[in-house]
């Protein structure tokens, strides 16, 4: 449980609570009680609380309409006659529910229980619960599925969360493991031409804590190639999103 400035208890930390925790880690680091590497790791781990807070405050933080990458992914999955897909970092479900409405069996993974609860309620409301399975999971751990069981995998900006390159290497191979031969891994990432790159606090490994307290891992084209071991790179498309605009890669890989 957490308390706000008035002393009221809540299951969700306030922004002030998160900032206070970061200040405490900086103090401990300055006193030599913990080293800088441990402190940075704790900041990255704290992103889970931050996202949970955001999802609780706004049930439609990213809007209700499916994203451009989701519509493109649906077209690609259609060419393979995909039936069962995995979504990593499902957020509040705008793309998840779109896939379910297309008749795809969607397994939606996220490490925010608040986000998953929101998706389930929305699915119940629009009548697509039969096409949806939500699972609370940290993608830094082994995916909870057998080998060769999904026709495709989709993730919108999950790869550019607070994940070190070594963790992304592990995740990429885990996705490959659970994909059927010829299955597609479609993901998006913000890249190094994005206006937020190299702004805010440098968290190492091309990760930057930008405005709003979000840690973003910005990708170079070389990093996409590096993470594509065991895949055929089908396409890497550049696109923009929101008014900032965010600059992203839409990456389409095929299990080889």
C-alpha Rg value of the chain to the nearest Å: 18
pLDDT of residue 1: 45
Which secondary-structure segment (H or E) carries 75? helix 68-79
CA distances from 187 to 120, 123, 168, 175, 224 (A): 23, 23, 12, 11, 10
CA distances in angstroms from 126 to 55, 95, 130, 131, 241, listed in the order given = 20, 14, 11, 11, 27
- How many beta carbons lie within 10 A of that of residue 201, not counting itself? 13
Phi (first) and psi of residue 151, to 5 degrees: -80, -25
pLDDT per position as a tens digit, 177-226: 999 999 999 999 999 999 999 999 999 999 999 988 899 999 999 999 99
Task: Report the pLDDT value the prediction gives residue 17, as an integer from 0 to 100.
Answer: 60
User: Average pLDDT in the 133-138 region?
Assistant: 96
Is pLDDT at 92 greater than 60 in this prediction? yes
According to the model, what pLDDT value does residue 40 have?
54
CATH 3.40.605.10 is the classification of domain 68-255: no
Q: Which pLDDT does position 31 carry in this prediction?
A: 55
User: What 3-state DSSP class applies to 166?
Assistant: helix
User: Greater confidence, 84 or 58?
Assistant: 84
Question: From CA 217, how far away is CA 44, in angstroms rounded?
Answer: 11
d(CA 37, CA 197): 21
Alpha-carbon distance 250 to 238, whole Å? 6
Q: Would you say residue 54 has pLDDT above 80?
A: no
Global pTM? 0.81
Span(s) in the chain for CATH 3.40.50.150 = 68-255
Q: What are phi and psi of 76, to 5 degrees?
A: -65, -45
């Amino acid at each position: 449980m957490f308390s706000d400035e008035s002393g009221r208890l809540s299951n969700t930390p306030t922004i002030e609570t998160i900032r206070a925790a970061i200040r405490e880690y900086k103090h401990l680091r300055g006193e030599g009680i913990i080293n800088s590497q441990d402190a940075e790791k704790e900041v990255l781990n704290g992103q889970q609380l931050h996202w949970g807070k955001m999802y609780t405050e706004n049930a439609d933080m990213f809007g209700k309409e499916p994203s451009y990458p989701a519509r493109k992914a649906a077209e690609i999955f259609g060419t393979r006659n995909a039936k069962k897909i995995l979504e990593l970092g499902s957020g509040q479900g705008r793309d998840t529910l779109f896939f379910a409405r297309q008749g795809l069996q969607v397994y939606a993974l996220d490490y925010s229980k608040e986000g998953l609860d929101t998706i389930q309620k929305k699915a119940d409301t629009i009548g697509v619960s039969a096409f949806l399975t939500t699972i609370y999971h940290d993608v830094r751990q082994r995916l909870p599925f057998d080998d060769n069981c999904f026709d495709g995998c989709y993730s919108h900006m999950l790869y550019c969360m607070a994940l070190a390159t070594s963790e992304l290497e592990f995740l990429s191979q885990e996705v490959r493991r659970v994909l059927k031969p010829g299955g597609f891994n479609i993901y998006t990432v913000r890249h190094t031409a994005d206006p937020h790159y190299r702004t805010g606090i440098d968290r190492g490994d091309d990760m930057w804590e930008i405005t709003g307290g979000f840690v973003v891992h910005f990708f170079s084209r070389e990093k996409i190639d590096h993470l594509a071991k065991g895949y055929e790179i089908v396409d890497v498309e550049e696109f923009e999103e929101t008014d900032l605009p965010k600059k992203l890669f839409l990456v389409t890989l095929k299990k080889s």
